[in-house]
Amino acid sequence: MLRPVVLSLTNAALLVSASAYSKNVSHCPGRCNCVRGPWLYMLLIVDSTGYTLTSLAELQHGLSAQLQLAGPACNAFGSDIANLTLEVTYQSQSTIRVAVFDTAEDQFRIPTSIIPPPPLPTESLINDSDLVFNYDRSPFAFWITRRSDPDAMPIFDTRISSLPATPIPPFNASDPSTAFDGFPLVFEDQYLQITSALPLGTNIYGLGEVIASSGFRRDIGTGGGSGTIQTHWNRDAGDPIDENIYGSHPIYLEHRYNETTGKATASGALLLSASGSDILLQTPPGSPVSLIQYRMLGGTFDFYFFSGPSDVDVIAQYGAVSGYPFMPPAWGFGFHLCRWGYHDVNDDIANVEAMREAGIPLEVQWNDIDLYHAFRDFTTDPISFPTDEIRSFIENLTTNHQHYMPIVDAGIALTVNDTDVVRACTSSPLFRVLPFPSTH
């Protein structure tokens, strides 16, 4: 599975900052002050004025409200969207959904056919759920508290008054995009930003897929740590440390210890978004709080907050929204053999025989994309993996109660053949065609 990188992007924000630097800043509209020191990139954001809540309707399971851009558009990395809709839904005893999207609904959202929203409860939980949605009208901000502990530090809190004073210089001096110049809610067609305060040095897990040098507990910038920039951008990279790899799971679990009560509780926050993003965990010097900041290249905000209170509860509550994992077959836990670089079907045959001779109970033989004709999924290479031989190979495995698994690669090869079968798929807006290195 280790292959040359199909798409290399280490830091989605750097792409954004590159486009910002190329803007002709003297054309910044409104009262945006665009040239003010070295952190040009973030300065475009600080002058965003956020949003004002202009109307609100209480609904059986929550509320719906209109948000309007509070000042002139800043258009830092695209166009500020003037009118937003806020939808708050008390989904279950444990789960609140907070969605902020463009009222015109032009921004991409994960289709509900792919991840259906969980069913609504039969009774309204507005006054009974574990979590409570609170908000300020102007500038619009929200915070999530536990009903049982309303005075404790909120689970999620976007109020500027809860966040450290800005501007905060870049925490990486060589990377101006790591400055925090302000914490307004930003909602543009190509850039979204929202920030929440977290308890100082709290325990954050998740935001995968990643192999983090800090271990399972993410580096939040306390205790000698330098903080985290977790990019969410699926990428065919084997096992780099502290980088984005194959999958994106923008959910974190917070495990919080209260020194007064001596009790620990867990909560969770899912951002249901497919947008390329950076999620930052950081504790600015001298700040009484740590923070999480989401920087997205598109889409909408669609948060689910889970009340726990145990770690296992949070994962179960997340499963109720995202869908539960499938029950793997018993043989899935056995020995599997796979690599990228089998030359032809004879390598498969030789592997299975060598395992049998060595007394190793091989359950599953795999093929990587070597199997395919010009790396097209769902094909077989006519020379090295002829269909009839692969079929015979699989039949023989089946006779021996063994199994076969072909990899299906999300990176579809770009071909120039208009009659190619993948064309039908790649013309769909759901697919992005990536050039595949021709050296293999």
Query: Contact positions toward ligand NAG, by CB under 6 A?
Result: 24, 26-27, 82-83, 124, 126-127, 149, 151-153, 172, 174-175, 199, 226, 258, 260-261, 349, 389, 392-393, 396, 417, 419-420
Task: State in angstroms the smallest separation of the CB of 165 from ligand NAG.
Answer: 20
Q: With respect to ligand NAG, which residue has the nearer C-beta, 82 or 364?
A: 82
Task: State in angstroms the smallest separation of the CB of 246 from ligand NAG.
Answer: 22
Task: State in angstroms the smallest separation of the CB of 395 from ligand NAG.
Answer: 7
Q: With respect to ligand NAG, which residue has the nearer C-beta, 39 or 274?
A: 39
Q: With respect to ligand NAG, which residue has the nearer C-beta, 340 or 404?
A: 404
From residue 271, give the alpha-carbon distance in Å to each of 141, 144, 157, 276, 404.
Answer: 17, 15, 15, 12, 36
Q: With respect to ligand NAG, which residue has the nearer C-beta, 261 or 310?
A: 261
Task: State in angstroms the smallest separation of the CB of 288 from ligand NAG.
Answer: 11
| Residue 195 near residue 292, CB atoms below 8 Å | yes
**CA-closest candidate to residue 386, choices 348, 341, 336, 417:** 348
Q: With respect to ligand NAG, which residue has the nearer C-beta, 87 or 149?
A: 149
Task: State in angstroms the smallest separation of the CB of 134 from ligand NAG.
Answer: 15
Task: State in angstroms the smallest separation of the CB of 327 from ligand NAG.
Answer: 31
Q: With respect to ligand NAG, which residue has the nearer C-beta, 272 or 289?
A: 289
Q: With respect to ligand NAG, which residue has the nearer C-beta, 199 or 284?
A: 199
Q: With respect to ligand NAG, which residue has the nearer C-beta, 152 or 338?
A: 152
Task: State in angstroms the smallest separation of the CB of 42 from ligand NAG.
Answer: 15
Task: State in angstroms the smallest separation of the CB of 339 from ligand NAG.
Answer: 19
Q: Which residues contact 391 (CB under 8 A, 6 or more apart)?
A: none
Q: With respect to ligand NAG, which residue has the nearer C-beta, 27 or 401?
A: 27
Instruction: Name the β-bridge partners of 305.
Output: 96, 269
Task: State in angstroms the smallest separation of the CB of 302 from ligand NAG.
Answer: 21
Q: Exposed e or buried b for every residue in 285-321, given b needs 16+ CB within 10 A?
A: eebebbbbbbbbbbbbbbbbbbbbbebebbbebbebb
| Residue 133 near residue 145, CB atoms below 8 Å | no
